[in-house]
Structure 1
Amino acid sequence: MTPQKPIAPACERNQGPILEVLRHYFHDRRRVLEIGSGTGQHAVFFAPALPNAIWQTSDVEENLPGIRLWLDDAALPNLPPPLVLDVTGPWPQQRFDAVFSANSLHIMPWTAVEQFFAGVGRVLEPGGVLAVYGPFNYGGAYTSDSNREFDGWLKQRSGSSGIRDFEAVDRLANGIGCELVKDHTMPANNRLLVWRRR
């Protein structure tokens, strides 16, 4: 029996609005690292729209078979095989001029969020762009009732998960020499934060 490609409905809903923003910042990028590629859906949607960039998927080992199914099916020249990347472990030796991650920071523990940014600091070139999509709190407050409910669900599932404060995340980005370019409002009470490395 042929294995079925994993499908995340959220990816299908958000990939269009995310791509609209990424086109602006990634049109001249050559090497993009996607951290936490999940199913691989985002990669196969973004890569043909950004043909000048090698889009490098990555995730923890158990998610790689699903990503490979999407990549093999798409057979795109700018989608190399996925890399094993747990942000708390070894990072790739390559350097990238852009890094993208969606719906990852609220799933990992805060210590892993710190390691995420430390790792990005090692692989992102000067002038590189970091784009992170997901829900964020501002001044410690939820931006919507649905985000409050989602945060409760996350914490129930794992005490170390939860919607992150924008200010705390921005400090980590500043710590690796990244300055906020723009905080984009996205559908379903999400944000797309874009930083550029000095």
Structure 2
Amino acid sequence: MTHPLRTRGIDATDIARVAVFAAVTAVLGLPGGFTVFGVVPITAQTLGVMLAGAILGAGLGALSMTLLLALVAVGLPLLAGGRGGIGVFFGPSAGYLLGWIAGAFVIGLIVHAGRRKPVAWRTFAGVVTGGIVVVYAVGIPVQSAVTRLPLAETALTSLVFLPGDLVKAVIATAVVTTLVRAYPRAFRRTWATEDAATSGAEPARVP
């Protein structure tokens, strides 16, 4: 008998959802952005990263960002300001872009830890850890190497991103917690309730 919490395979619906969140992240770049010291652009696209990881989960969230960056690599102008092409992966923002994949994965791990239903505090912790800390941890060293500025100086100047990213984390948390209540099918997974975790009862299934 199959355990109700066992990981299922990826199906056509999952592939469609991966494509949707890649598209959502691309659309969030349409308003463009502004650059910090003329080097790295600040955009709304990390909000898409946060939502992808929190809603799709670790694996599919990371896959959606991988799909987006693969399309960028082949030349589609899906990044803020209409940027695209393999050249963006050799510029100062390359680390931040690659950090989207790792960030979405970490977000999914935290938000859905223990296969529990997302709650506000864990969602916020997940999107901050994955969407900010992880992305910065990958992006800052690469930016430092490309611009040949000291790592400490690069990290300090990157703090200008922080207020905007925290606002995006709050927005992502609000969206996720609203979806949990209003449209749990968006998550397409089985959750173990707190009661089930403590009593051994059958986990609650998303309708």
TM over 0.5: no
Structure with more of its chain in helix, by fraction: 2
Q: What is the TM-score normalised by the length of structure 2?
A: 0.31
Structure with more of its chain in strand, by fraction: 1
**Which entry has the higher C-alpha Rg, 1 or 2?**
2
